[in-house]
Amino acid sequence: MTRIGIIGSKGRMGGALQQAIADAGHDYAGGADQGDDVSALAAKADVLVDFSAPAALQANLDAAIAAGVPVAIGTTGLDDTHHTAIDKAAQQIAVLQTGNTSHGVTLLAHLVEQAASRLGDDWDIEIVEMHHRMKVDAPSGTALLLGEAAAKGRGIDLAANSERGRDGQTGARGQGAIGFASLRGGTVAGDHSVTFAGNEERLTLTHNAENRMIFARGAVKAAEWLVGRAAGRYTMPQVLDL
Ligand X SMILES: O=C(O)C1=N[C@H](C(=O)O)C[C@H](O)C1
Ligand Y SMILES: NC(=O)C1=CN([C@@H]2O[C@H](COP(=O)(O)OP(=O)(O)OC[C@H]3O[C@@H](n4cnc5c(N)ncnc54)[C@H](OP(=O)(O)O)[C@@H]3O)[C@@H](O)[C@H]2O)C=CC1
Task: List contacts with ligand Y (CB under 6 A).
Answer: 7-8, 10-14, 32-34, 51-53, 55-56, 74-77, 98-101, 137, 141, 212, 215
Provide, rounded to whole angstroms, the least separation between the CB of residue 102 and ligand Y: 6
> What are the residue ranges of helices labelled H in 44-132?
57-67, 80-89, 103-118
Q: Which of 82, 131, 192, 221 is catalytic?
A: 131
Q: Please report whether residue 218 would count as binding ligand X according to CB under 6 A.
A: no
Amino acid at site 124 = D
Cβ neighbours, 10 Å, residue 157: 11
164 vs 173 by CB, closer to ligand Y: 164
Could you give the 3-state DSSP secondary structure of residue 223?
helix
Cβ closer to ligand Y: 6 or 177?
6
Q: Could you give the CA distance from residue 148 to residue 30 in angstroms, rounded to a whole number? A: 34
By CB under 6 A, residue 106 contacts ligand X: no
Q: Which is nearer to ligand X, 67 or 130 (CB)?
A: 130
Candidate ranges 14-22, 80-88, 110-118, 139-147; the one touching ligand X (CB under 6 A): 139-147
Reply yes or no on whether 131 is catalytic: yes
Query: What whole-number distance in Å separates Cα of residue 18 and Cα of residue 13?
Result: 9
How many angstroms separate the first and last alpha carbons of the chain? 25
Beta bridge partners of 39: none
Q: Site for ligand X (CB under 6 A): which residue of 9, 100, 161, 193? A: 100
Binding mask 6-45 for ligand X (x = CB under 6 A): ----------------------------------------
Q: CB-wise, 92 or 182, nearer to ligand X?
A: 182
C-alpha torsion sign, points 240, 145, 75, 181: negative
Answer for which of 52, 142, 162, 193 binds ligand X (CB under 6 A) is 142
Tell the smallest beta-carbon distance from residue 67 to ligand X (Å): 26
Length of the chain: 242
Helix (H, G, I), strand (E, B) or coil at 67: helix
**Strand pairing category for 190-197 and 124-131:** antiparallel
In this structure, are residues 37 and 80 in contact, taking their beta carbons and an 8 Å threshold? no
Determine if 207 is a binding residue for ligand X (CB under 6 A). no
Residues contributing to the site for ligand X (CB under 6 A): 76, 99-100, 131, 135, 140-142, 190, 209
Instruction: Cite the annotated binding site by residue number.
Output: 8-13, 74-76, 98-101, 132, 141-142
